[in-house]
């Protein structure tokens, strides 16, 4: 892009696209993922009661995206666990976060500056996962736009999309926390990245890959850092997203053309006149049996007969 050439960002974008994720960025991803699991309600009790269930849940947090994308691509779901080095590294991070003496690792990683750095490194790995899923689907299904979006989304946010299965491992069942019913911020931003990278791979978006990697990585890192510093779960485009959602998908459920027309007919003047005349006609037969109280003689005669 001309903007990158004008700002001398081409070399920075190329350097970021050639950056290796192993071992430091992968280690940050494992630490933050296991810390997220530890902060779930009841996770510490599960770690004391069943370490194997805790370890399995941690591996789903770390490799859930790769497992889900493998299932979607008709590959073996255990294929992501075939990399012994990454599996041992993730297991080491799990043990240090849950069972380190005096909670030294968890306490040190929970300090805000350290947590910011680790989270930023984890968000960078999200970019490579989304791009990897889109590229993997594009090789098998060329120009399959929706397949590329689905696989890239699954590989980048598989841990959140598999949250209900992970909760079952810990003995928890909360179907209302399904990510498809109420998407969290990581799931939404991963879906956005999957759409953008899929459009770029299908040549609908005229931009080079390393430039898009730089823009998307800068967006998710700065946005996540801002959210952590402000301590809020809202992001810059949340109000725009709510407005678009309500405009396109939300409609009043209590609206009925038949009900509205009936109410308008009932409230019309002619209808009220007809109701008034009908009520008057109903009252006449009953009033005919009553004596006319306006005539004094009739009133006295009625008293005598009583």
If the chain, 306 residues long, is cut into consecutive pieces of 10 residues, what is the mean pLDDT of each piece? 74 92 96 96 95 96 96 93 95 97 96 96 96 95 93 95 93 89 93 96 93 96 92 63 66 50 51 50 48 50 48
pLDDT at 223: 93
Contact of 122 with 224, CB cutoff 8 Å: no
pLDDT at 84: 95
280, with CB counted inside 10 A (0-12, 13-18, 19+), is: exposed
Contact of 26 with 86, CB cutoff 8 Å: yes
pLDDT at 250: 64
């Amino acid at each position: 892009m001309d903007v990158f050439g004008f700002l001398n960002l081409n070399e920075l974008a190329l350097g970021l696209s050639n950056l290796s994720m192993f071992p430091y960025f992968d280690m940050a991803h494992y630490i933050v993922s296991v810390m997220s699991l530890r902060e779930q309600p009841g996770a510490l009790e599960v770690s004391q009661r069943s370490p194997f269930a805790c370890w399995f849940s941690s591996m789903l947090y770390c490799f859930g995206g790769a497992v889900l994308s493998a299932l979607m691509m008709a590959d073996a779901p255990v294929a992501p666990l075939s990399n012994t080095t990454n599996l041992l590294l993730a297991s080491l991070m799990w043990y240090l976060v849950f069972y380190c003496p005096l909670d030294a690792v968890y306490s040190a990683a929970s300090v805000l500056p350290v947590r910011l750095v680790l989270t930023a490194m984890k968000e960078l790995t999200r970019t490579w996962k989304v791009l990897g899923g889109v590229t993997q689907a594009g090789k098998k299904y060329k120009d399959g736009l929706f397949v590329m979006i689905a696989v890239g989304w699954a590989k980048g946010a598989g841990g959140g999309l598999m949250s209900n299965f992970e909760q079952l491992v810990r003995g928890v069942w909360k179907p209302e926390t399904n990510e498809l019913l109420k998407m969290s911020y990581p799931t939404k931003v991963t879906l956005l990245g999957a759409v953008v990278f899929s459009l770029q791979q299908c040549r609908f978006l005229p931009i080079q890959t390393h430039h898009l990697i730089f823009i998307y990585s800068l967006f998710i890192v700065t946005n996540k850092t801002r959210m952590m510093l402000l301590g809020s779960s809202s992001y810059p485009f949340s109000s725009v997203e709510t407005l678009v959602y309500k405009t396109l998908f939300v409609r009043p459920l209590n609206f009925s053309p038949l009900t509205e027309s009936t109410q308008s007919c009932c409230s019309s003047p002619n209808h009220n006149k007809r109701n008034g005349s009908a009520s008057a006609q109903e009252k006449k037969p009953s009033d005919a049996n009553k004596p006319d109280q306006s005539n004094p003689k009739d009133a006295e005669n009625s008293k005598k007969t009583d």
